[in-house]
Amino acid sequence: MAYNFKDTMNKPERLSSGHRMCAGCGGTIAVRNVLRGLHEEDKAVIANATGCLEVSTFTYPYTAWEDSYIHNAFENAGATLSGVEGAYNLMKRRGRLDETYKFIAFGGDGGTYDIGFQSLSGAMERNHDLVYVCYDNGAYMNTGIQRSSATPLFADTTTTPVGKNSNGKIQNRKDLASVIAAHDVPYVAQTTFWKNFKDLHLKAEKAIYTPGAAFLNIMAPCPRGWRYRTPNIMEICRLGVETCYWPLFEVVEGKWILNYEPKNKKPIEDFLRPQGRFKHLFKKGNEELIEAFQKEVDRRWEELLFRCSK
């Protein structure tokens, strides 16, 4: 079925308003738009790793989730949803359920790249029919902006603070989408809030309706942690894509597909400058830090082009 923006946006919300996420939170935008990938007639079970999303959307006795929902712990959304999907298979096999259910896990980068990595890897390798969505805001935001393995180089976080002897995080971020692609799952994609969200909506639908395990990595800026002007989230995401810091791609049955190639690749400063977490990079004398950052972005971009046979 052809993509129709109006129809997609007119679907009923499956994460209701009244939850306690911050105004302008990227995580919430990611969730609401991923859920638009569900066909209206289908039911879903959502699993959620501990994090901002969980504590702010299911504070007893209130839930913002229209679908069935399970939060278990920080590191096991993948395993928990494996069990739910297993239960579904069993109920179908024994004729105890007629309805179609889809299974979606949401985790921040802490619950996905780091503490939940084993559980995620297991769920992907076993190829359960589920989607794991990482809303990647590049740090442990729920506990107060500590670094994760998704935190970009030189970011100022509360465990990689900038100081006399520190320029922020000293390591590059883990390329998790590639790591999951190496699990040989049927569908992996990376996206963010781009233009009118068609890219995200289509990838969510594909991920949900591709049989077997799928992984979506969504750059979901956190205004508190990244320290940009909250209303500018779309601009931040656009710059992430235009600088090739956050490329949009898919890996379908092992085939790498680049979804967007900027005509004029913007310099990485454009992405870094509006963000307070990179403020120190623009001090006089720190030019080589930006150069180092640019070099790594270029290296990864070239590698991606190669994988996508560009």
List residues near other proteins by CB under 8 A.
43, 45, 47, 54-55, 58-61, 63, 65-73, 75-76, 78-91, 93-94, 97-99, 101, 118-119, 121-122, 125-126
Helix (H, G, I), strand (E, B) or coil at 31: helix
Q: At its nearest, how many Å lie between other proteins and the CB of residue 94?
A: 7
Q: At its nearest, how many Å lie between other proteins and the CB of residue 241?
A: 34
Name residue 136's beta-bridge partners: 219
Give the residue with the Cβ less far from other proteins, 25 or 281.
Answer: 25
Give the residue with the Cβ less far from other proteins, 58 or 106.
Answer: 58
Least Cα distance to 154 among 168, 165, 172 occurs for 168
Between CA 120 and CA 131 the distance in angstroms is 10
Least Cα distance to 235 among 89, 4, 24, 6 occurs for 24
Between CA 306 and CA 231 the distance in angstroms is 35
Between CA 23 and CA 44 the distance in angstroms is 26
Least Cα distance to 293 among 190, 181, 193, 151 occurs for 151
Give the residue with the Cβ less far from other proteins, 121 or 294.
Answer: 121
Q: At its nearest, how many Å lie between other proteins and the CB of residue 191?
A: 27
Here the tokens at position 294 are: 């640019």
Bond before 12 cis per omega within 30 degrees? no
Give the residue with the Cβ less far from other proteins, 141 or 268.
Answer: 141
Q: At its nearest, how many Å lie between other proteins and the CB of residue 45?
A: 5
Backbone angles phi, psi at 28, to 5 degrees: -65, -40
Give the residue with the Cβ less far from other proteins, 97 or 305.
Answer: 97
Q: At its nearest, how many Å lie between other proteins and the CB of residue 29?
A: 21
Give the residue with the Cβ less far from other proteins, 29 or 120.
Answer: 120
Q: At its nearest, how many Å lie between other proteins and the CB of residue 301?
A: 33
Contacts of 92 (CB under 8 A, 6+ apart): none
